[in-house]
């Protein structure tokens, strides 16, 4: 008995400490492993969002891929963003009519209609993935009927000379990106702001003039994070001064535009409640994809804390969330807590290596997964999901 018991403990200990997997083994290496470095597989070979990460890594110059992939410091938050979803099991319900689930994905975001409750998170520098850069996101989002939040105004960042980008292609301006919109397409504009009111007013006015339907003020990056992976390859963003970001400043910003200003980068119950107090129309629970403060909680952990300690927040403002979402099931767990819309950053940046078609395929795959997973969870309508569909205590098999 004893000789059996001891190894069992050792084995379970070893399993608990299993290594992080950027893309879990689903057979992709066996099928695409021989793809020549620097070339792309067929788009139809992309069967899930993690596949785009693999394809971008295989295709892009190392510096370009690293710019997208990197996280802060030891990248613990980057990894936790993905792993956290597997710590909670679903509580499926069977014997329900789920045949109409695909018709129930649509939602509203700040009153605008979209075909699904997920969107393209704002990410700078689409140019490092494809010559058409952000245009692929605008057009892909239009084709898929989802929201695109345009990343920071590219020229605010100094492009690194050593990151290859196609010659002749410059970064796109706010005006150029919004000009690519389809008739009636709703697009939001994310901004990093400095305390310089003239500059801020100019960005607000230009965003409005270009047709942005809302602004997104990123508050989790008073200075760009310590990014060792990027520093190693010299692809860190130059960011030498600390930005002034306070609730008083937010109040002032509200007086400078009539566009709604969403606050992106909320990571605590306290700040979520303060956002409600300051009449923020929507917040994004986000740790910036683990690129800012290593050790910052994932959006799922923050959403769970809000659900337990201040559930009224989900009624008092619209709550969106991003970070580590790679599967339909990840999105379902956020929706279950009351999150209204879910952002995906890197998966779309990676899908962009295939151009607009890649972005469209990523949207289609995510929609299909959401519907299939919701059906297998036992939902007749995606909007029926609530916290009772998930066991909110850690399971013991995720390590």
Ligand X SMILES: Cc1cc2nc3c(=O)[nH]c(=O)nc-3n(C[C@H](O)[C@H](O)[C@H](O)COP(=O)(O)O)c2cc1C
Q: Which residues are catalytic?
A: 288
Write down the least CB distance from residue 196 to ligand X, Å: 18
Write down the least CB distance from residue 79 to ligand X, Å: 11
In a 10 Å sphere around its CB, with 0-12 CB exposed, 13-18 middle and 19+ buried, how is residue 198 labelled? exposed
Write down the least CB distance from residue 45 to ligand X, Å: 22
Is 207 one of the binding residues for ligand X (CB under 6 A)? no
State how far the Cα of 193 lies from the Cα of 144, in Å rounded to an integer.
30
Is 286 one of the binding residues for ligand X (CB under 6 A)? yes
Residue among 137, 225, 140, 153 nearest 194 (CA): 153
Stretch that binds ligand X, among 136-144, 198-206, 286-294, 364-372 (CB under 6 A): 286-294
Is 77 one of the binding residues for ligand X (CB under 6 A)? no
Candidate list 117, 124, 140, 338; residue touching ligand X; CB under 6 A: 124
The count of other CB atoms within 10 Å of the CB of residue 243 is 16
Strand partners, 170: none
Stretch that binds ligand X, among 18-26, 36-44, 93-101, 318-326 (CB under 6 A): 318-326
Is 152 one of the binding residues for ligand X (CB under 6 A)? yes
Q: What are phi and psi of 344, to 5 degrees?
A: -125, 125
Contact string 13-52 vs ligand X (x = CB under 6 A) = ----------------------------------------
Where is 112: in which H helix or E strand? strand 112-114
Candidate list 50, 129, 323, 358; residue touching ligand X; CB under 6 A: 323
The closest residue (CB) to ligand X is 345
Site residues (CB under 6 A) for ligand X, limited to 262-281:
264
Residue 324 marked in a binding site: yes
CB nearer to ligand X: pick between 340 and 346: 346
Region of residue 27 (left: phi > 0; alpha: psi -120 to 50; beta: else): left
State how far the Cα of 146 lies from the Cα of 328, in Å rounded to an integer.
15
Residue among 14, 13, 52 nearest 32 (CA): 52
Residue 78 marked in a binding site: no
The three-point CA angle 137-140-142 to 5° equals: 105
Write down the least CB distance from residue 52 to ligand X, Å: 11
Contact 304, 313 (CB under 8 A): no
Stretch that binds ligand X, among 36-44, 343-351, 352-360, 383-391 (CB under 6 A): 343-351
DSSP 396: S
Q: Site residues (CB under 6 A) for ligand X?
A: 68, 81, 121-124, 151-152, 190, 218, 264, 286, 288-289, 291, 322-325, 343-346, 349
């Amino acid at each position: 008995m004893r000789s059996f018991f001891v190894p069992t403990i050792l084995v379970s200990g070893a399993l608990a400490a299993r290594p992080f997997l950027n893309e879990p083994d689903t057979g992709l290496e066996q099928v695409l492993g021989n793809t020549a470095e620097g070339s792309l597989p067929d788009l139809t070979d992309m069967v899930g969002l993690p596949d785009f990460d693999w394809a971008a890594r295989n295709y892009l110059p190392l510096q370009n891929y690293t710019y997208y992939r990197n996280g802060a410091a030891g990248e613990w938050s980057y990894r936790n963003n993905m792993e956290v979803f597997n710590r909670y099991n679903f509580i499926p319900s069977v014997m329900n009519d789920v045949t109409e689930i695909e018709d129930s994905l649509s939602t509203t975001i700040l009153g605008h209609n979209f075909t699904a409750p997920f969107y393209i998170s704002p990410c700078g520098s689409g140019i490092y993935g494809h010559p058409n850069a952000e245009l692929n996101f605008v057009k892909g989002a239009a084709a898929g009927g989802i929201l695109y939040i345009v990343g920071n105004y590219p020229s605010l960042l100094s492009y690194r000379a050593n990151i290859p980008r196609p010659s002749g292609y410059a970064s796109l301006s706010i005006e150029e990106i919004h000009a690519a919109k389809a008739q009636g397409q709703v697009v939001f504009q994310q901004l990093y702001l400095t305390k310089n009111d003239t500059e801020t007013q100019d960005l607000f006015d230009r965003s409005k003039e270009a047709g942005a339907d809302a602004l997104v003020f990123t508050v989790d990056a008073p200075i760009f994070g310590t990014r060792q992976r990027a520093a190693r390859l010299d692809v860190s963003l130059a960011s030498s001064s600390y930005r002034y970001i306070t609730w008083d400043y937010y109040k002032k910003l509200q007086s400078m535009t009539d566009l709604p200003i969403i606050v992106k980068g909320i990571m605590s119950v306290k700040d979520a409640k303060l956002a409600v107090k300051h009449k923020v129309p929507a917040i994004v629970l986000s740790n910036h994809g683990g690129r800012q403060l290593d050790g910052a909680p994932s959006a799922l952990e923050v959403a769970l804390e809000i659900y337990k300690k201040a559930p009224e927040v989900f009624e008092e403002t619209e709550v969106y969330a991003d970070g580590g979402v790679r599967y339909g099931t990840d999105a379902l767990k956020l929706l279950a807590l009351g999150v209204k819309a879910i952002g995906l950053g890197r998966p779309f940046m990676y899908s962009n290596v295939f151009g607009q078609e890649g972005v469209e395929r990523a949207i289609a795959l995510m929609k299909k997964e959401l519907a299939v997973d919701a059906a297998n969870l036992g939902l007749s309508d995606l909007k029926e999901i609530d916290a009772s569909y998930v066991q909110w205590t850690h399971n013991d098999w995720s390590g």
